[in-house]
Chain A
């Protein structure tokens, strides 16, 4: 490989690195209001850059043809990288927001320390300070987690994880397919068939048990009728 190509690859990597840096910075700023658009934009830029850089390096410089399974794998891989960026940003956003009640509680504690109001608690031990802070934190977290924003935050985090897993499983399935190993989807179908088969067997077992019970009832009835008939014929004989 000539030095020109090496330089271009390094340049691409450097560009991706600086975008990663900007991305991390925007995540940490996302605790501030109306910054979600910011990191959404960053994620898009970063993913596009990683995707473009890979194509450029693999296709233009290393001359790999973007065809067939290769193309599918690259597409899926890039989508996974994108969804992973989004999920990481979602986690960070969640934790930044989760740190707000902590900030609020520390502010309350600071005010109590500075206040000269006699109605405020007057701490004598570190334990008392800790207990006071714990109570503040409990109150603040309960309020935040129950707020519409807190509730939505948890749901977004879970859905972000699910989207991430969906993509990862997709890529995993392509690799499994290329190695002739049953894919996640194929295994799910096998499990479903086993489950349905078991259900059928259970239904059959239940029907057999019911039939056996019916047969037993019938046989008991026949025996009863037979013994009744025997008694009658015996009586007739004795009458005769």
Chain B
């Protein structure tokens, strides 16, 4: 062991510390820009707390497809992650590639929304958004893109309303919940979900957030160490604060949806078994006959490959493409790999259909 070198390097770090702290305080006390979701968009429809946003198209770009794309995000955290900052925006990249993009903002549910079920979210709010886009663009079908839980929503919606979906794109989307390698799946199986909902009403966003952080506790600490290491870098500080804003901006989840999602999907795994019922309608995955692009991260610890891959086998589509990417959960829609590889591939796939 090189004890002398280690002590010397600690000394060096300690000597550099005061200067670093001074720089950090100057940056943090100054005007750090940490605005998120800056891509211009217009609210074209809203109902209760849900809003449908239509991003302004890039004027010089020709549309690659007549059919618009509707992005559906999860009820956990907010869609702002897809538009983190100029130059690091999944949405901006899709617009740059020439897509016409809509997104659903689910808003912040309160105690009054605790009774909203999957049926309300899928057969009402999501359906209203789809109908609005269809009517505005005079098309019979739209392209649906779903992320994580939003992807699961889209899968169920497409199985129930196959006539309204032209192409289905799922990103980091779990459909098989009988997987032991993901901590969230293991924990969810142990929850007394009825008791939790009966007492709390909604699932508190902060509680969900702590569980997410507990999945990788060392990462949750290490990111602050890395932040401290790069604190004199204004651009990095800005991006870090934006990420933090996204992570801790956790809306509560409707209690009824939480009850159904955990009880029927995580605990009983009914979706992939074709035994899920939404408002008495059976969700048959074989009803999904439109082209499917299923994108998953090989290192995704929240929705591991074993939970995403089986969708391709379960649907009735003949045109199925699976895209396995060397990244984790968030890396699919944030980061250079996402913008340079995944976005162009998604657009190329849509263009061909």
Partner of A126, one of B13, B116, B124, B222: B13
Asked if B112 lies at the interface with its beta carbon under 8 angstroms from chain A, I say yes
Asked if A75 lies at the interface with its beta carbon under 8 angstroms from chain B, I say no
Produce 1/0 per residue, A90-114, CB < 8 A to B.
0000000010000000000000010
Asked if A174 lies at the interface with its beta carbon under 8 angstroms from chain B, I say no
Q: Min CB distance, A211 to chain B, in Å?
A: 18
List the A side residues contacting B120 at CB < 8 Å: 199
List the B side residues contacting A196 at CB < 8 Å: 115
Asked if B136 lies at the interface with its beta carbon under 8 angstroms from chain A, I say no
A162 to B112, CA, bound (A): 20
List the B side residues contacting A195 at CB < 8 Å: 112, 115-116
User: Are A124 and B201 interface neighbours, CB within 8 A?
Assistant: no
A202 to B222, CA, bound (A): 49
Q: Which of B1-34 contact A (CB under 8 A)?
A: 1-2, 5-6, 9-10, 13
* Total CB contacts across the A-B interface at under 8 A: 79
Q: Min CB distance, B13 to chain A, in Å?
A: 6
**A122-B1, A126-B6, A191-B114 are known contacts. Are A155 and B187 too (CB-CB below 8 A)?**
yes
List the B side residues contacting A192 at CB < 8 Å: 115
A141 to B216, CA, bound (A): 8
Q: Which of B200-252 contact A (CB under 8 A)?
A: 200-201, 207, 211, 214-219, 222, 225
List the B side residues contacting A141 at CB < 8 Å: 217-218
**A125-B9, A155-B191 are known contacts. Are A169 and B115 too (CB-CB below 8 A)?**
no
Give B residues with C-beta under 8 Å from A: 1-2, 5-6, 9-10, 13, 111-112, 114-116, 120, 124, 183, 186-187, 190-192, 195-196, 199-201, 207, 211, 214-219, 222, 225
Give A residues with C-beta under 8 Å from B: 98, 113, 122-127, 129-130, 134, 137-138, 141, 145-146, 151-152, 154-155, 158-159, 161-162, 165-166, 169, 187-188, 191-192, 194-196, 199, 202
